[in-house]
Structures are given as C-alpha cells and as structure tokens.
Amino acid sequence: MKLLHYCKVLLFSLPLNILSHNKNKPYITPHIPTTISRVLSKCDIQSSIYDNDAEMKSVKENFDRQTSQRFDEYEERMKGKRQKRKEERDKNIQEIIEKDKMEKSLAEKIEKGCLKCGCGLGGVAAGVGIIGPIAVNEWAKAALLAAKSSAIAEGAAAAKTAGDLAGVNALIQGINTELGLPTLFGRSFGSIFNVTNYTDVFKISHVIYTEFHGSCVSLRSVPGADYSMCSTIMRLDPVPGYTRAIAYGRGSYRGIIESHVNDIITKATKLAETTKTEMTASETLAIESAKKGAIETTCAIYHTAIIASIVAILVIVLVMVVIYLILRYRRKKKMNKKQQYTKLLKE
C-alpha cells in the first residue's frame, strides 16, 4: 500500500518538474489560436460576442422572419381548412337536421295514421259487435211477426182451397150416390162443377133436372143420356123442411131434385168448413215453421258474417298497433343514434 502511494507521488512530481523548467527553454512555444470559433457551446450561450456580431444578427433575423412567415402561411392554410371543415360540418349537421325533420314528420304522420286507423277500426268493431247482433235480433223479431201473419194468411188460403175441393168431391159423391147420376150429358162432374159454383143450388138442380127430364120424362131420347137415374129419382121423396119443394107442387120432380141437391150441397158445405178449420191450423203451423227455419238460417248467416267481420277488423287493428309500435321504436332508436352523432360532430 505504501508502495502505491510512493508511485503516485513520483508520477505527480514529473509534470511539476516540466512546468517549472518550461520558461527556461525557448524552443518550446505556447499554442496561440489564430481563428475565432463560432461554435455555440454551452459555456458560450450567454456570451455577448454573438450579440455584437452583425452576420450572426442577420442570420438570426432571417431565421426568425422565415419561421414567422412559415408559421403565418401554415396558420392561414389551417384557418382555411378549419373554416372549410366547419362549413362542411355545419352543412352536414343542417342536412342531418333537415333529413331528420322530414323523417320524423313522415314517421309521425305514419304513426298517427296507424293509430287513428286502429282506433277508428276498433270503434267500428265495437259498434258492429254491439249494434250488429241487436239489429239482427230485432230484424228476426220483425221477420217472425211478418212470417206469422203471412203464414196465417197463406194457411187460411190453402185451407180454403182444400175445403172447397173437399166440398166439390162431397157434392159429386152425393149426386152419384143419392140421385144415381154418374155423369151429366156424357161429361164428368169434374169438368162441370168446381170450387166457384159447387154451392149454387138452383144452377146444379136445373142442370140435373134437365138431364132427368130429357132422359126419363121426354118422349124423345137424348143422345148420351144415362137412364139409370130415372128409377132412382122417381123413388125419391122431397127432403123434409125444404119449403121450395112444396112450391113446385106435390110429386114435382123439379122440387124433389132441388131439395136433394140442396141437402147434398149443405152437407158438402159443412164438410168444406170442417176441412177448412182443420187445415187452417196445420197449414199455418207448417208454413210458419218453414218460414221460421228460413229466418233462423238467415240470422245464423248474419251472425257468422258479423263475427267474421269483427275478427277481421280486430286483426287489422292489431296489425296497425304492431306497426305503430315498431315504427315508434325504430324512430326512437334512430333519434338516439342521430343525437349521439350530432353531439360528436359538435364536439
């Protein structure tokens, strides 16, 4: 360790020795700088030599001027770009606002239209559902009353026709049975007597008497006459209580025939009235039942149509409400996105 210190002392003494004998040796000349260095060093930054140098001042002024000019040009370009960008942004924002207003107005109109349509159709459905069955029921009541009146009239007419036919048949059968007359002048009774003249006592008795007189009393024979009635009528007596038979005289065949024809017509008329009374109720009931069935079928068709209409209207209302809700949801979602986008643009 001591050896190391001794070496340091010896080495340090050598430069001291050189410096101490430097002035005594003229061949050793000191270095004198001949040029001035313009390098900016840390130690020369605050030196006043650069402030007094005209060339350095000119360089600094040129540098400052060019830098300021470039900064001004850059600022002008940026100002123009910023203005252009601002105009484009304002234009885009205005277009977005206008488009949004149009879309909002259109969407609101569509939504209001769907809502109004749904409300209107809902009211129609309610009205049809309430008024329709009531109207159909009232119509059914009125139709049943009209059908009953019509059935009574039609039943009475049908019963009268049936009674008259029964009376005509009873007249023909009575003439054939009591008077022994199957035909008149070779013709059937059906071609002579009908529902309009079967109660005419005088006409029928006159026709029968003419047939009887020509066949049984007259000396001349009548073509096509039926002589089987002669013995039958000649054995008859006047019907008791018929006063007109007395007027013709005792034993007058005219009075006998007329009294029996009157009795036959009286029985036929009673049978016709009985048949008419019996047939009126049955025919009226049958016609009324048929009309009632037709009315009930029609009412069922109307009720089905009303129900189908209500269901269709409710389906349309439901579709309108769904469309309204979808459009409203989409519009709100789009408005939220546009508000966020507009906020970002403004920022």
Any residues with CB less than 8 A from the CB of 275 and at least 6 apart, and which?
A: 159, 162, 163, 166, 167
Greater confidence, 128 or 138? 138
Does residue 222 carry a pLDDT above 70? no
Q: What is the pLDDT of residue 23?
A: 52
Does residue 113 carry a pLDDT above 50? yes
Does residue 224 carry a pLDDT above 60? no
Greater confidence, 316 or 229? 316
**What is the per-residue pLDDT across 14-39, written as a single tens digit (0 to 9) for each?**
554 554 555 555 555 555 655 555 55
Q: What is the pLDDT of residue 3?
A: 47
| Cα–Cα distance, 78 to 72 (Å, whole number) | 10
Dihedral of CA 109/115/116/117: which sign? Answer: positive
Cα of first residue to Cα of last residue in the chain, in angstroms, is 76
Q: Is 124 exposed, middle or buried (0-12, 13-18, 19+ CB in 10 A)?
A: middle
Contact 89, 345 (CB under 8 A): yes
Does residue 77 carry a pLDDT above 50? yes
HSE-CB for 156 with a 13 A CA cutoff:
5
Average pLDDT of 253-275?
A: 82
187 φ/ψ angles, rounded to the nearest 5 degrees: -110, 150
Type of residue numbered 17: N
Question: Encoding tokens for residue 302?
Answer: 């109307």
Least Cα distance to 208 among 223, 192, 194 occurs for: 192
Mind giving me the DSSP string for 23-72? TT-TT-------S------GGGTT-TTTTS-HHHHHHHHHHHHHHHHHHH
Does residue 219 carry a pLDDT above 50? no
Does residue 262 carry a pLDDT above 80? yes
Greater confidence, 150 or 40? 150
**What is the per-residue pLDDT across 296-339, written as a single tens digit (0 to 9) for each?**
888 888 888 888 888 888 888 888 888 888 888 887 887 777 77
- pLDDT bucket at 226, cuts 50 / 70 / 90: low
Q: What is the pLDDT of residue 231?
A: 72
Any residues with CB less than 8 A from the CB of 137 and at least 6 apart, and which?
A: 299
HSE-CB for 195 with a 13 A CA cutoff:
12
* DSSP secondary structure code for residue 184 in this structure: B
Q: What is the pLDDT of residue 66?
A: 86
| Cα–Cα distance, 331 to 325 (Å, whole number) | 10
Calculate the average pLDDT of the chain. 74
Q: What is the pLDDT of residue 105?
A: 76
Q: Three-state SS across 276-291?
A: HHHHHHHHHHHHHHHH
Q: What is the pLDDT of residue 2?
A: 45
| Cα–Cα distance, 111 to 293 (Å, whole number) | 48
Q: How many residues does the chain have?
A: 347
Average pLDDT of 81-109?
A: 80
**What is the per-residue pLDDT across 166-181, written as a single tens digit (0 to 9) for each?**
888 888 888 888 777 7
Dihedral of CA 231/234/238/244: which sign? Answer: positive
